[in-house]
Structure 1
Amino acid sequence: MLGHYLTRNQVADVVQRRSERRDFFKKSSGFAAGIAGGAILTACGGGSSSSVAQAPPGPSDADIFNFALNLEYLEAQFYAFAANGTGLPASQLTGTGTQGAVTGGRAVTFVDPVVRQYAKEIAGDEIAHVAFLRTTLGASAVAQPAIDIGGTDPNGAFSTAARTAGLVGPGVAFDPYASDENFLLAAYIFEDVGVTAYKGASPLIQNKTFLEAAAGILAAEAYHAGLIRTVLYAKGVATPALRSSADAISNARDSLDNSQDVDQGISPIGDSSNIVPLDSNGLAYSRTPGDVLNIVYLNSGAVSRGGFFPAGVNGALVLSSALA
C-alpha cells in the first residue's frame, strides 16, 4: 500500500517513466508527421509509387467516430445506471452491426452528496456524447454492442479489471455500485482511457468539422478525468488505499496496452500532486485504437472481443494491439 509520499526509489521510477514518455512522444510525433507528409505528397501529386513510399490509407473519419461511439456507449451506460438507475433509451442503441444488451448496472446509493452530483453531471455529458455522435454519423452510426458493466460476477469485466490491478483475489467480485469509493475507482478505469483515445485519434481526423467536434469531446473527457482523479486524491488523504488502488489500476492499464510505460497514477510526486498525467513537455499522451481496445477487452494480445465488450465492438476498428 502506498503512503502519502513516494519513496526515493519510487521518485526515481517516476523520473524514468517521464523519460520514457518523452521518447514515446518523439516517436508519436514522427509517426503523425509521416502521415501528414504522405498526405501532402499525394495531394500535390509529388513523387511516384516507385520513388516515394506512400502512407497506407488510414481509417476514415466515420470509422474513428464510430470507434468513439462504442466507447461512449460503455461510459454512458455505466454512468447512467450508477447515477440514475436506468441505462440509455432503446432509441439510442440501434445502428449498423450487431446490437447487444447490457449486462449488469444499477444505481449507487451514494453517501457523499458531492460524488452523487458529480456522477449525475458526468452521466448527462456521456449520454449527450452518444446522442451527438449518433446524429453526426447519421445512418452510418454503429449499434451499441454487448456491454458488460455488472458487479456481482467474479468473472465479469469489472472484477477482471480489479483482479488485474490486484485489488481483489481469485473468485472475488468487484462491485462498482457498492460504494462511493468503488464507483470512483471504476470510473477511473475508463476516464483516462477516454482522454488518451481522443488524443490519439485527433491526428487521423481529416474533416475540420469532425476534428472540432472531437476536440470538444476530448475537452469534456479531460474535465471528467481530472474530476475523478481529484476526488480520489482528496479522499486518499484520509484513506491512502484509494490512492494506491488508483495507482494499481494505472499499472494494470500499462500492462495491457503496449510496452511503453506512459500511464500515471495519482499518488504525490515529492511535494506535488499528480492530478494531471502529462509528459515532461506538459502534454497529454495518446493511445492508438488498438491500445484502447487492449484495455477495454482486458487482454494484452491481438483479439477482437472480451472484457467490457464480450462480443467485440461494432465498426471497422475492432482488433486490439499485440503487446510488443
Structure 2
Amino acid sequence: MKTSTQEVPQQGGMARRQFLRYAGAGAALAAGAITMSSCSKDRKGIENDHVDLGSGDIAILNYAYALEQLEAAFYTQVVQTPYSGISSAELSLLTDIRDHEIAHREFFKAALAGNAIEGLTPNFSSINFADRTSVLAASKAFEDLGVSAYNGAGAMIQKADYLVLAGKIVSVEARHAALIRDLISYNSFIDSSVVDIANTSLEISRTPAQVVPIANQYLTGKKLAIPSLGIY
C-alpha cells in the first residue's frame, strides 16, 4: 500500500498549539543547522535513485526525519483504516501515537528547513491493515527500529542541543514500543530482543548502516542512502 508521508489528519489530530510548539522549536534550530554545512543543499539530491541525507549533524537530522516520515505515514494509515475488531481504547492509543509521530516529523522538517530531504513515498504492501496481528507486528517493528536507530546515532551527534532533543524523542519512542508490546501480549513490554538483559540491561542500538536497509524495505521509488558521517 502506497501513501503519502506528509498527510496531516484533519480531525482528531494534533492540537494546533502543539504543532506550533514543535515547529517553533525547529525554526529556532534551523539557522544553526543551515550554517553547519554550506554544501548540504547540494548533497540532498538524488544519486542512483537514492536520497542523500547529507553529512554530519545534517545527515543525522535527515536520518531521523526519514524514520519519522515512515512512522507518521504508517500510523496515519492505521487510524484511517482501523483493523477489524479494534476497540475504542486501542484506537485512542494508536491515534495518540500517530499524533506524536506527526509532531516529530514536523519538528525535524522545520529544524532542517532548506536542508530537509524531500517527502518519501512509503510502501506498506507487506502489511495487512485490516488484521490486528499484522498491524501490531509492524508497529512493534517500526518502534523497535526507531529506538535502536536513535540510540545508535546518539554518539554521532556533534551539537549538544541536538543530542538533548534526540534523547527526549527516543524516550517517547520507547514508551510507544513498550505500549505496543503490551497490546500484543500483556506485560511483555521488554525482552532480550531489545535490551541486553543478561549483561548490561541497556537498550540495544543499531548504526545507520544497519537501519537504512530495513527502512528501505518500506519505501518505493527513491530509497535512502546511508549517511556519510565519517565515524563508522
SS in 2 for 1:205: coil
Q: How is 1:195-274 mapped onto 2 (pairs within 5 angstroms)?
A: 195-234=147-186, 274=191
For residue 131 of structure 1, what is the aligned residue in structure 2? 106
Per-residue CA shift, 1:151-178, capped at 9, x if unaligned? xxxxxxx2xxxxxxxxxxxxxxx51x11
Per-residue CA shift, 1:93-148, capped at 9, x if unaligned? xxxxxxxxxxxxx4435522222111101000000001100111111111112210
In the alignment, the residues of structure 2 paired with residue 292 and residue 316 of structure 1 have an alpha-carbon distance, to the nearest angstrom, of 9
SS in 1 for 2:185: helix
In the alignment, the residues of structure 2 paired with residue 82 and residue 61 of structure 1 have an alpha-carbon distance, to the nearest angstrom, of 32
Residue 60 of structure 2, aligned match among 60, 64, 79: 64
In the alignment, the residues of structure 1 paired with residue 76 and residue 207 of structure 2 have an alpha-carbon distance, to the nearest angstrom, of 27
| Aligned residues between the structures | 173
- Tell me: higher relative CO, structure 1 or 2? Use CA pairs within 8 A at least 6 residues apart: 2
One-letter amino acid matched to 1:73: Q
In the alignment, the residues of structure 1 paired with residue 95 and residue 225 of structure 2 have an alpha-carbon distance, to the nearest angstrom, of 29
Alignment partner of 1:108 is 2:96:
no
Could you say if the C-alpha distance between residues 288 and 276 of structure 1 is closer, same or farther in structure 2, counting changes exceeding 3 Å?
A: closer
Tell me the TM-score normalized by structure 1: 0.49
4+ runs deviating over 6 angstroms: none
Could you say if the C-alpha distance between residues 69 and 133 of structure 1 is closer, same or farther in structure 2, counting changes exceeding 3 Å?
A: same
For residue 207 of structure 2, what is the aligned residue in structure 1? 288
Q: Percent identity?
A: 30
Residue 186 of structure 1, aligned match among 131, 134, 138: 138
Alignment partner of 1:79 is 2:75:
yes
Contact 2:212 2:225 in 1 (8 A): no
Contact 1:115 1:180 in 2 (8 A): no
For residue 38 of structure 1, what is the aligned residue in structure 2? none
In the alignment, the residues of structure 2 paired with residue 284 and residue 316 of structure 1 have an alpha-carbon distance, to the nearest angstrom, of 22
SS in 2 for 1:282: coil
In the alignment, the residues of structure 2 paired with residue 194 and residue 312 of structure 1 have an alpha-carbon distance, to the nearest angstrom, of 20
Alignment partner of 1:145 is 2:145:
no
In the alignment, the residues of structure 1 paired with residue 85 and residue 68 of structure 2 have an alpha-carbon distance, to the nearest angstrom, of 23
In the alignment, the residues of structure 2 paired with residue 316 and residue 189 of structure 1 have an alpha-carbon distance, to the nearest angstrom, of 20
Tell me the TM-score normalized by structure 2: 0.67
SS in 2 for 1:80: helix
Per-residue CA shift, 1:2-44, capped at 9, x if unaligned? xxxxxxxxxxxxxxxxxxxxxxxxxxxxxxxxxxxxxxxxxxx
Alignment partner of 1:308 is 2:218:
yes
SS in 2 for 1:148: coil
In the alignment, the residues of structure 1 paired with residue 88 and residue 133 of structure 2 have an alpha-carbon distance, to the nearest angstrom, of 13
SS in 1 for 2:164: helix
Stretches of structure 1 that go unaligned for 5 or more consecutive residues are 1-57, 86-105, 151-157, 159-173, 236-265, 268-272, 298-306, 319-324
Contact 1:61 1:206 in 2 (8 A): yes
Contact 2:121 2:220 in 1 (8 A): yes
Shift of 1:182: 2.4
Contact 2:82 2:130 in 1 (8 A): no
Stretches of structure 2 that go unaligned for 5 or more consecutive residues are 1-53
